[in-house]
Chains A and B, each alone.
Chain A
Amino acid sequence: AQTVTQSQPEMSVQEAETVTLSCTYDTSESNYYLFWYKQPPSRQMILVIRQEAYKQQNATENRFSVNFQKAAKSFSLKISDSQLGDTAMYFCAFMIYSGAGSYQLTFGKGTKLSVIP
């Protein structure tokens, strides 16, 4: 079974500053995918960034980037130039192919990020 651990239940950052959210996972699988999802107060689940385990290069999406350390099973999210709209719950998620056209997605408990004006 796969487990995802987010050790920071809550974090805060000043507007325009940089913040890093931590995530570790445990798996015996070799082929998997990692994601960060954002859930703002509207509770919509929004995909922020993805990383394939076989890729060594860290994924980036505008102000969002990841630090993927496969050996350490670590997948942190860095948000640069934080904006008020970044205030949300952030979920780290691990995904493997479970067969028959379906992928199994396991979430961490989440980190509640508050961006302070």
Chain B
Amino acid sequence: AAGVIQSPRHLIKEKRETATLKCYPIPRHDTVYWYQQGPGQDPQFLISFYEKMQSDKGSIPDRFSAQQFSDYHSELNMSSLELGDSALYFCASSLGLLLAGDHNEQFFGPGTRLTVL
């Protein structure tokens, strides 16, 4: 079965640089979520999109922005990177509009490991 695809898998940036992370959801999934997981931490919700519109917002810094495109893929843009932004960034997808028999669980991609030097 198709899974959530994230690219790149690893990214190394310098302080104050920008980074763009991409996420391709499971086919049919119309909701995309972004999470940040620091070392030894649980994943923290950043932002979500449903049908190309922002649907919920968590602890996302103002330096970060995201969007969902017409093909449902999403991109997380991170500017003025700081050392503390080094983390594993997960994208997850789910069905937002449920039909009979559908489930709403979130399926996670493999993550993008961002290292800021």
Chain A residues engaging chain B, CB cutoff 8 angstroms:
33, 35, 37, 42-47, 50, 91, 95, 97-110
Contacts and interface: CB of A to CB of B under 8 A. Distances in A.
B105 A101 contact: no
- Which secondary structure dominates where chain B touches chain A? strand
For chain B, give the interface size range: 20 to 34
Contact of A100 (B43, B53, B103): B53
B108 A44 contact: yes
A101 B96 contact: yes
A98 B48 CA distance: 10
Nearest to A106: B45
A67 B111 CA distance: 30
Given A43-B88, A45-B90, 5 more contacts: A91-B42, A102-B49, A104-B56, A105-B45, A109-B42
Nearest to A6: B42
A99 B110 contact: no
Contacts, number: 70
Interface in B13-57: 30-31, 33, 37, 41-43, 45, 48-51, 53, 55-56
Nearest to A37: B108
A33 B94 CA distance: 14
Most buried by B among A46, A102, A105, A107: A102
A95 B31 CA distance: 15
Contact of A107 (B30, B43, B88, B94): B43
Interface string B77-117: 00000000000101010101100000111111011000000
Contact of A47 (B30, B96, B105): B105
Contact of B56 (A46, A47, A100, A109): A100
A93 to B, nearest CB: 9
By CB atoms of chain B within 10 A, which of A43, A50, A103, A108 has the most?
A103
A102 B96 contact: yes
B45 A101 contact: no
21 contacts: A35-B105, A37-B108, A43-B37, A44-B110, A45-B108, A46-B108, A47-B105, A47-B107, A91-B43, A95-B104, A97-B104, A98-B55, A100-B55, A101-B97, A102-B31, A102-B48, A102-B49, A103-B104, A103-B106, A106-B45, A108-B42
